[in-house]
Amino acid sequence: MSAKIKDVAREANVSIATVSRVINDIPLVNDETKARVLDAIKRTGYKPNAIARSLKLQKTNTIGVILFDITRIYFTLGARGVEDYAADNGYNIILCNTDGVKDREKKAAELLMQKQCDGIIFLGTLMSKSLKETLLGTNVPVVLGLVEDEEGDLPGVYLDNEAAAYDMVKYLIENGHKDIGIINVDPITAYFGKKRRVGYLKALQDFGLEYHEEWSHVGDFTIQGGYDAMKKLLQNDKIPTAVFCTNDDMALGALRCAEKMGMNVPEDISITGFNDFSTARWSKPAITSLHHDMYELGAECAKILIEEIQTGKHEKRDYKLDYYIVKRESVKDIGK
Amino acid sequence: MSAKIKDVAREANVSIATVSRVINDIPLVNDETKARVLDAIKRTGYKPNAIARSLKLQKTNTIGVILFDITRIYFTLGARGVEDYAADNGYNIILCNTDGVKDREKKAAELLMQKQCDGIIFLGTLMSKSLKETLLGTNVPVVLGLVEDEEGDLPGVYLDNEAAAYDMVKYLIENGHKDIGIINVDPITAYFGKKRRVGYLKALQDFGLEYHEEWSHVGDFTIQGGYDAMKKLLQNDKIPTAVFCTNDDMALGALRCAEKMGMNVPEDISITGFNDFSTARWSKPAITSLHHDMYELGAECAKILIEEIQTGKHEKRDYKLDYYIVKRESVKDIGK
DNA sequence: AAAATTATAGAAAACGATATCATAAAGGTT
DNA sequence: AACCTTTATGATATCGTTTTCTATAATTTT
């Protein structure tokens, strides 16, 4: 068994109160005594028990992170952002993957609360009603990443997905495209999918373009998903001149599919991605994508959360990420 | 403040001992009393405090994971494997990224021990002496992923990197290649880099091929790193007919660099990857790679660790991952 | 030199649970 | 009717800390 504060006290011939004072740098200790205690700590190899401490202080210095799937770079970068900022400020993170399954999200939230996390960050695709209830049914501060609490007052950090999608489609339009398809993540299970779809539709409308139901497809987040969606899209008699994909992996899949069908990108069809991960940059042709910083998103979530934990003040605030389009090779200007 | 066991006891008009019995399903409780307690729990919204419980039980049901960088898919998959297996068995994970910085690894280990983790999994590139000392200076079970404790008796889960590299180089040789370069991760800071290099050298030797210092380059794990390393490699007067890259991202970088230099893969030069991530599969040309399952690695680490936690038995054992070569388009058979 | 103040250190009560031990009531045995 | 079981419950010590309150010694003030 490792040494306890009691062992140190015995060893240094003082009371445990004094040892505690030394550990916590409370000034009312005589220098000589302090030295004796420090020495005893070294000799016994004593390390404070954070659990006991947490119980007494009612503070665990841990942040719970509920996320979709750490395996997907989109979320991973966010998680790393959270972890770095948290670690720099003396907090640790407990991680729960949920794959977006509501039941698991709820269980994760309950568990994190039982473990007395000082705060919770939710990095998911959708905020379900039941999760929100669970999260609000406590006093733990909560910050949302990626999703926005539209009616409620939970602070959130996210991209203005609607505007970003709008801008990307607008960019395609500026390049002379009038027939624009979309390969999106499921707008029902993913909040940002919904928003990006709205942006897409709005841009079409604003520029007087027609919406074609048959050019709108949904894939999971994967390359294969993009491939399959593109395959369906290309089965139509008339096909668009450009496809707006709402993530890079799906854009790559779409690109591969087009190639497979004997088309060249961007000569025969233009494709755009979203997120600007290395997939897009190093693809050939390199994919035009919309850049925004997921790491920053995570870090910002952590920052807001820790501030709320430390001040105890709750305040609804939304932090919108910057974004910009990175123009590469996958879009052809077909304007006259 | 949320309800405590005391509140439930008062509400149900029983002692806290009885409430505790109900919570923990200890049979000696009258059915009627039990119902009353259950009802009180529901009414008060009581949730047990895991911290208090941990203190008393000397068990936190958390596993500490120290890993290199969650942002790199190689580690991420491992982390997810750990998390899933752990979650299925009632454990949670605390995650610490270290970027391989020794000091941070040590700090992470100390922190996890203070937080009374029931066990620690190390998913890193190298086991430093100081980290090992820190890890062993306690009674917490430790399992190593990716690295092997050659002299010590810590259990580990890893790929037989030497054999795998050997097989990959052998595959190139079987395809007629005699001039084979290598783009490796740093063998000094990464244990598996060292091992893969040994396998590479051994294969060259076994088949009577010459080793060319100038064809051996090192990159970080990234695509850019592979690109830069390839650039140096291609600056030689004589260049190899094949390059063995010890991860997929670097292979992609190397491929892009070769293309940039006006070469075609695999017509002018063959390239192989390692790990078989989607990068390799969806690249064009698709990259021949060595498949092994990082998710399984993580899950196996968790399995071994939890077994050790629960039985209290420590035993040195090594679990070696299966692997196989996935043949794709990036290798040309140049045999006569 | 007595009183008041200050500097140190210790005793003990929390924090919220679990589990041991003790106790009381009910039923069974002779 | 006295005793022994069995069943159900409560009181309480404990886990390893922090912190308040108290106590003592040392110092200063008068």
Q: What is the pLDDT of residues A167-190, one digit of tens each?
A: 999 999 999 999 999 999 999 999
Residue of B nearest to A226 (CA): B282
- Alpha-carbon distance A9 to A22, whole Å? 11
The rounded distance, in Å, linking the Cα atoms of B169 and B163 is: 10
| Contact call for residues B198 and B229 (beta carbons, < 8 A) | no
pLDDT at residue number A106:
95
Q: Is the pLDDT of residue B55 over 70?
A: yes
Taking CA B162 as the corner, what is the angle to CA B156 and CA B164, rounded to the nearest 5 degrees?
95
Report the distance separating Cα A163 and Cα B143, nearest Å.
Answer: 47
| Contact in structure between B124 and B146 (CB atoms under 8 Å) | yes
**Residues near A44 by Cβ (< 8 Å), separated by ≥ 6?**
A3, A7, A8, A11
Confidence at residue B159, expressed as pLDDT on a 0 to 100 scale? 97
Contacts of B259 in chain A (CB under 8 A): 284
Residue in the block written with tokens 């999971």: A220
* Chain B positions in Cβ-Cβ contact with residue A312 (cut-off 8 Å): none
Say what the pLDDT of residue B335 is: 80
| pLDDT above 80: residue A196 | yes
> What percentage of chain B has pLDDT greater than the value 90?
93
Longest dimension (CA), chain A: 90
Work out the percent of chain A whose per-residue pLDDT is above 90: 93
Does A114 sit within 8 Å of B47, measured CB to CB? yes
Tell me which of A41, A71, A105, A263 to substitute to probe the interface with B (most B C-beta atoms closer than 10 Å).
A71
- DSSP code, position A64: E
Q: Counting Cβ atoms within 10 Å, is residue A48 exposed (0-12), middle (13-18) or buried (19+)?
A: middle
Confidence at A1, pLDDT banded by 50, 70, 90: low
Residue type, A312: G
pLDDT in tens, B108-165: 999 999 999 999 999 999 999 989 999 998 889 999 999 999 888 899 999 999 999 9
Burial (CB count <10 Å: 0-12, 13-18, 19+), residue A133: exposed
Give B 247-286 residues with CB within 8 A of chain A: 249, 252-253, 256, 259, 278-279, 282, 284
Q: Do A83 and B71 touch (CB under 8 A)?
A: no
The pLDDT-based confidence of B238 (bands split at 50, 70, 90) is: very high
Query: Does nucleic acid strand C have an atom less than 7 angstroms from the CB of B56?
Result: yes
Q: How many CB atoms lie within 10 A of CB B42?
A: 10
Which among A55, A97, A278 is the nearest to B223, CB-wise? Answer: A278
Alpha helices in A15-128 (DSSP H): 16-23, 31-44, 50-57, 73-88, 102-114
Where do we find the tokens 């590139």? B125
Report the pLDDT value the prediction gives residue B309, as an integer from 0 to 100.
Answer: 96
Determine the pLDDT at residue A336.
64
Over 80: is that where the pLDDT of B1 sits?
no
CA distance B240 to B213: 12
Mean pLDDT value across residues B256-276 = 96
On the question of pLDDT at A57 being above 90, the answer is yes
Q: How many secondary structure helices (H) and strands (E) does chain B include?
A: 13, 12
Query: What span, in angstroms and rounded, lies between the C-alpha atoms of B308 and B260?
Result: 52
CB B301 within 8 A of CB B148: no
pLDDT at A315: 87
**Which one of A71, A114, A222 has the shortest CB-CB distance to B48?**
A114
Q: How far is the CA of B309 from the C1' of D5 (A)?
A: 40
Do β-strands A242-245 and A180-184 pair in parallel, antiparallel, or remain unpaired?
parallel
Nearest nucleotide over every DNA/RNA strand to the B18 CA, judged by C1': D9
Both tokens of A202, joined, read 């709005």
Cβ A116 vs Cβ B49: under 8 Å = yes
**Confidence (pLDDT) at A335:** 80
**What pLDDT sits at residue B9?**
95
The C-alpha torsion from B239 through B242 and B243 to B246, rounded to 10°, is -170
Q: How many CB pairs below 8 Å do chains A and B form together?
A: 121
Distance CA A83, CA B91 (A): 20
Distance of alpha carbon B131 from alpha carbon B191, whole angstroms: 15
Per-residue buried b or exposed e for A50-88, using 16+ beta carbons within 10 Å of the residue's own CB: bbbbbbeeeebbbbbbbbbbbbbbbbbbbbbbbbbbbbe
Is the predicted pLDDT of residue A22 greater than 90, yes or no? yes
**Bridging pattern class, strands B92-97 and A92-97:** antiparallel
Percent of chain B predicted with pLDDT > 70: 99
Residue owning tokens 């068995």: B89
Q: Provide the CB-side half-sphere exposure for B14 (13 A, CA).
A: 22
The DSSP code for B287 is P
Whole-number Å distance between alpha carbons of B211 and B270: 17
Report DSSP letters for A172-191, one per residue.
Answer: HHHTT---EEEEE--TTT-H
Q: Is B2 on the interface with A (CB under 8 A)?
A: yes
pLDDT number for residue B28? 82
**Tokens 């600056």, residue?**
B235
Q: Which band of pLDDT confidence, cut at 50, 70 and 90, is reported for residue A266? A: very high
Q: Considering only residues 73 to 112 of chain A, which have any Cβ-Cβ distance to chain B shorter than 8 Å?
A: 73, 76-77, 79-80, 83-84, 87, 92-97, 110-111
Cα A47 to Cα A59, A93, A103, B83: the distances in Å are 18, 21, 38, 27
Amino acid identity of A26?
A: I
State which nucleotides on strand D lie below 7 Å from a protein beta carbon.
7-12, 14-20
- How confident is the model at residue B19, as a pLDDT? 96
Closest by CA to A281, choosing from B288, B256, B220, B254, is B256
| Residue A230 in tokens | 């593109």
Mean pLDDT of chain A: 95
Select from B238, B274, B301 the least CA-distant residue to B65. B301
Say which residues have a Cβ less than 8 Å from residue A311's Cβ, sequence separation at least 6.
none
pTM: 0.94
Asked if the bond preceding B285 is cis, omega within 30° of 0, the reply is yes
Band of residue A139 on the pLDDT scale cut at 50, 70, 90: confident
Q: How far apart are CA A277 and CA A291, in angstroms?
A: 8
Distance in angstroms: CA B24, C1' C19? 12
Nearest-CA residue relative to C1' of D19: A17
Note the pLDDT of residue A231.
97
H helical segments located in B45-153: 50-57, 73-88, 102-114, 129-136
A189 CB-near residues (< 8 Å, 6+ apart): A100, A125, A126
Residues of B in contact with A45 (CB under 8 A): 137
Average of pLDDT values for A59-88?
96
Closest CB to A55: pick one of B51, B249, B284.
Answer: B51
Residue A291's pLDDT is what? Answer: 98
- Which residues have CB under 8 Å from B235's CB, separation 6+? none
Is residue A107 within 8 Å of A85, Cβ to Cβ?
A: no
Q: What is the pLDDT of residue A250?
A: 97
* pLDDT score recorded for residue A27: 85
- Please state the rounded mean pLDDT for residues B234-249: 97
